[in-house]
Structure 1
Amino acid sequence: MPNPRGRDHAQPVLTIVGLGAAGASLAWRLLDAGVPFEVVEVPAGAPERSPERTWSTWGPDGPGPFGPLVSASWPRIRVVGRDGGVVTADLGSWRYRSLHSTVLDRAVRRRLERAGVAVHERVLTGPPPAPAVDTRPVPVPATGRTLLRQHFLGYRLRTARPVFDVRTATLMDFRTPQPAGGVAFGYVLPTSPTEALVEYTEFSEHLLTPAQYAEKLGEYLQRSGIGAHEVLSTETGVIPMTDAVFPASGLPGVLRWGAGAGSVRPSTGYSFSTLQRQADALAAQLPGPLTLPPPHRRRHLLMDSVVLQGLADGRLGDGFFVNLFRRNPVHRVLGFLDGTTTPAQDLALMATAPRAAMLAAVAARALPR
């Protein structure tokens, strides 16, 4: 990007396009740093506006500067196998945390208004005014070997009787029919004994119809013994899981960032922690030229590509994820999912994976497309 240094600092030195997880994270830091900028955001109700959703992170603190905005946190996590076997892990000083998009949006907008930052609400169909950080989604490149999708329907619900353990987040409950070439699981984030976000999630190639999502989630609720309940709100989403390389914007002065720049972890669909690390790096560079730091280490991308291949061809399934948590310290697994593990920790983790299935996935990945 061109260097905006030397411009009148009463004028914006940057345009942020989009106030989703990426745009809001950068805007928050620029407000702290006193860097003048402006925002272009899709109006509420427009089809291009990202749906409301819950972001999750973990670690000893955070996420980033948003600790005070965390909606809920849990000191334990669990994974449930298809056979009902449960792996529960105490996180010690860590916490698994959730942050709702509406809470972050309101907090960022309040700060923008107090600081007098211009927020232009319109659908931007062409290139943004440079210099800019463009967080709009882009089509997934066709250059990858594997493309799955993390797609889900979630209900924030209230039950007629206490059924939830408020100290435990269920990351994956595989007691649901499994799709060919992927996995399906329940995801439960309780906020009280009678309230929780409960999702039906698939990692698979093909999306379902709205009726099919509702049917799958209904089956999971029944199988889990949730009982009578009322639905308070819903969440839906589709997140690409791909080993494709996302190209730069190709536009002078426009830095593409977010899901459209590969910030989503290919094997898990997580991105919020990665965005916080990248937002710190970008904010530290201003008002100078911006260079996007790599979202993930190369070895992690290689490992993710093998896992995606194994999921897509059916060699890896629910047992792969259950055994990762069963055979490893929980901080090693969560560190790998977050991209913070060392090479030694990665080797130790992979040593617990099913050897034959992993080697077959490696061999399949080596074949010509």
Structure 2
Amino acid sequence: MLDADVAIVGAGAAGLSLAHRLSHGAPGTRRLSVLLVEAPPGPLRPPRRTWCFWERGRGRYDAAVTATWQRLRVHTPGGRAVEDDIAPLRYKMIRSDDFEGLIAHDLAQSEQVRRIEATAETLEGVPGGAQVLVRTADGRPLTVRARWVFDSRPLGSLPAARTTLLQHFHGWFVRADRPVFDLGTVDLMDFRTPQPSRGLSFGYVLPTGDRQALVEYTEFSPEVLSAQGYDAALRHYTEDVLGLTGLEVVSTETGVIPMTDAPFARQTAPSVFRIGAAGGATRPSTGYTFAAVQRQTRAVAGALAAGRRPLP
């Protein structure tokens, strides 16, 4: 059996962010022992992804940020461009691999945080806290006991709601053989894409150099597309709308974000809480999650440091 003050199940953005905050502790408070349960390599690991968010000035994770911008542009369906400066904010892009690498480096220096690779099988409240039954990568069962447990794993199904759409997207990290991208400006929403019969679509361009960018096609609609459908939409957007040909696709990313007005349970037992998207951190009108995860985990860490019940 492993014991800790805090157990965090799942090592995506929310789990890593909370572990990182707790690894530093607050001056003058008791340092909490933390156990981070991370799924072994395989389908339960979060896929590689890119997060974007707005932030004023320097941020906690700037060392892992790929690029930042201060000008945003939107294209109307008719082709009119609306562009403006968002100072004092900056729009920041961070890739999950870089974020995980930065957190891993810091956690390796911490005496408070232990990491184990294991699959959580059951999670239940017990007197004085909660316990998680896990299975290690070599198949060995193990019990984790903690005063507080934070579960960041994706939900198996969404709660009942009046409205549920899917924000689904496919992106290409591309390289051009000549300077074609405006490094200072993000095309945040480009509605010159063909619109689906239900919902809406747009393209966007996040330039990381004058020859490199992430170009994505996004839909808010009831159903995802096939792989061929996304590729066709991206070819149309890059070639017919943006007028770019001969781009080399270096890597890709795909994702589905539920857009729902469902209420998400933040607490499932007296000492068990959900964090991240499972705890309602995804903004239902836009799908942005990373900044809300930071607010949520900062509040949880503050509550724990103050000895309060850490309801996210």
Is residue 53–residue 235 contact of structure 1 (8 Å, CA) maintained in 2?
A: yes
- CA-based RMSD of the aligned residues comes to 1.7
- Structure 1 residue 189: deviation in Å? 0.6
Residues 1:30 and 2:49 are matched in the alignment: no
Q: Which moved more, 1:247-256 or 1:72-81?
A: 247-256
Is residue 159–residue 263 contact of structure 2 (8 Å, CA) maintained in 1?
A: no
Output the CA distance in 1 between the equivalents of 2:116 and 2:106.
15
Q: Deviations over 1:63-84 (max 9, x none)?
A: 4x21232110011000011111
Q: Deviations over 1:29-86 (max 9, x none)?
A: 1111143201001123x111111111111132254x2123211001100001111110
Q: Which has the higher helix share?
A: 1
Is residue 141–residue 245 contact of structure 1 (8 Å, CA) maintained in 2?
A: no
AA of the residue aligned to 1:17: V
2:8 maps to 16
- Structure 1 residue 98: deviation in Å? 0.6
1:216 maps to 233
1:111 maps to 106
Runs (4+) of structure 1 exceeding 4 A deviation are none
Residues 1:282 and 2:300 are matched in the alignment: yes
1:254 maps to 272
1:192 is paired with a residue of what secondary structure?
Answer: coil
- Structure 1 residue 231: deviation in Å? 1.1
1:250–1:185 CA distance, 2 compared to 1 (3 A): same
1:270-349 equivalences in 2 (<5 Å): 270-287=288-305, 288-293=307-312
AA of the residue aligned to 1:220: Y
AA of the residue aligned to 1:175: R
Output the CA distance in 1 between the equivalents of 2:58 and 2:263.
29
Residues 1:91 and 2:86 are matched in the alignment: yes
Match of 2:62 among 60, 67, 71: 67
Output the CA distance in 2 between the equivalents of 1:24 and 1:252.
23
Q: Which has the higher strand share?
A: 2
AA of the residue aligned to 2:119: V
Q: Structure 2 length as normaliser, TM-score?
A: 0.86
- Structure 1 residue 92: deviation in Å? 2.4
- Structure 1 residue 249: deviation in Å? 4.7
Output the CA distance in 2 between the equivalents of 1:39 and 1:178.
43
Q: Deviations over 1:342-364 (max 9, x none)?
A: xxxxxxxxxxxxxxxxxxxxxxx
Is residue 154–residue 235 contact of structure 1 (8 Å, CA) maintained in 2?
A: yes
Q: Deviations over 1:98-117 (max 9, x none)?
A: 11111110111122222243
Output the CA distance in 2 between the equivalents of 1:201 and 1:273.
20
Output the CA distance in 2 between the equivalents of 1:108 and 1:14.
18
AA of the residue aligned to 2:62: G
Q: Structure 2: which 5+ runs fail to align?
A: 26-30, 124-131, 133-143
Output the CA distance in 2 between the equivalents of 1:43 and 1:233.
23
AA of the residue aligned to 1:290: R
1:186–1:16 CA distance, 2 compared to 1 (3 A): same
2:71 maps to 76
Residues 1:147 and 2:164 are matched in the alignment: yes
Q: Percent of aligned positions with the same letter in both sequences? A: 44
AA of the residue aligned to 1:88: E
